[in-house]
Amino acid sequence: MKIYFSGSVSGGREDVGLYLQIIMQLKEHGLVLTEHIGDARLDARGEPGLSDVEIHDRDLAWLRQADCLVAEVTTPSLGVGYEIGKATEWGKSVLCLFRTESGSMLSPMIAGSNGAVLREYNASKNSLMSSGIYRVTSGINHM
């Protein structure tokens, strides 16, 4: 299975460690096309040496190749929302993950979408492995 993982880049990189944990679990279920999202060296300025057009076109090509999209949606991000919209438009399976203890509000455009499965989880105090990632991997298997 080819998995496109989506997480905030320009919208904020506070959750990069969490993204990496999710990516490592997703790799047990297939090829993650966007592992770089979990790389702490990637900052909100994007990828040095690539233009905005190159990033856009490359990422959409990867999304087209993917069997499913898994998006961590706790940190609001225009790019993540755009990718979710494209994936649902193209009939891809979409799993959105929202961390309940964050204090963030999830957009109704994500929460109310019939084209995506929403899974809430709690990542505090080492519960990510039991409550969060388990739900992530179960969600993929049942999308």
Amino acid 103: pLDDT: 87
Amino acid 132: pLDDT: 43
> What gap in Å lies between CA 3 and CA 47, rounded to an integer?
21
Q: What are the backbone dihedrals phi and psi of residue 118, each rounded to the nearest 5 degrees, phi first?
A: -105, 130
Q: Which fold has domain 2-141?
A: Rossmann fold (3.40.50)
Residue ranges per structural domain of the chain: 2-141
Mind listing the pLDDT tens digit for each residue in 29-85? 899 999 999 888 876 777 888 899 999 999 999 999 999 999 999 999 999 999 999
Name every residue whose Cβ is closer than 8 Å to that of residue 78 and which is 6 or more positions away in sequence. Answer: 10, 11
Q: What are the backbone dihedrals phi and psi of residue 47, each rounded to the nearest 5 degrees, phi first?
A: -110, 115
